[in-house]
Amino acid sequence: MSEETLQTVRDRIRPFPDFPQPGVLFRDISPLLKDPTAFKALIDLLEDHLRASFSKIDFIAGLDSRGFLIGPPLAQRLGIGFVPIRKKGKLPGPTESVSYTLEYGKAELEIQSDAVEQGQKVVVVDDLLATGGTMCAACELLKRLKAEILECLVVIELKSLKGSEKLKSIPFYSLLQYN
């Protein structure tokens, strides 16, 4: 991984103090998304990581909503499909659903029951890992469908919240880490 390329991505992460509530330092990827050079650098870095780590991936599963911004271009680069994991009530047809706790409340995630088949290899993608609740819920849904979760992949990890510890035996990779 080129340190210069990584710095291009890092430079486009904008901190917002006291959002969404006092005491929280929000890491905003909006400047990264609107800069085509930085966004390409991000997808290049994630693609390089996945190609070096796994010989076969069947799907990228992206978490609602920012995983939808990173997952599809990454899947397209890898020549594989993209599977959305959405907030409850947003997907048609039969779904699997799981409730979980967020940093600021409770939520539910869903995946279509036929999104992946037993044994298919999936990488779960989101922009940020904080406490790990959403990522763990997504993994639970994929396990119910009997997918093989190769890795949980995020752009930003908030290390002080120890979310990756909740993933237990599921491999985890973050491009950028903040305390």
How many helices and strands in the chain, by DSSP H and E?
Answer: 6, 9
Of the listed 66, 110, 151, 157, which one is catalytic?
A: 66
Structural contact between residues 123 and 151, judged by C-beta atoms closer than 8 angstroms: yes
Of the listed 10, 27, 47, 103, which one is catalytic?
A: 103
Residue 25 exposure: Cα atoms within 13 Å on the Cβ side: 11
Q: What distance lies between CA 156 and its chain's CA centroid? A: 9
Beta bridge partners of 27: 15
157 is catalytic: no
86 is catalytic: no
Q: Which two tokens stand for residue 50?
A: 């996945």
Active site residues: 66, 103
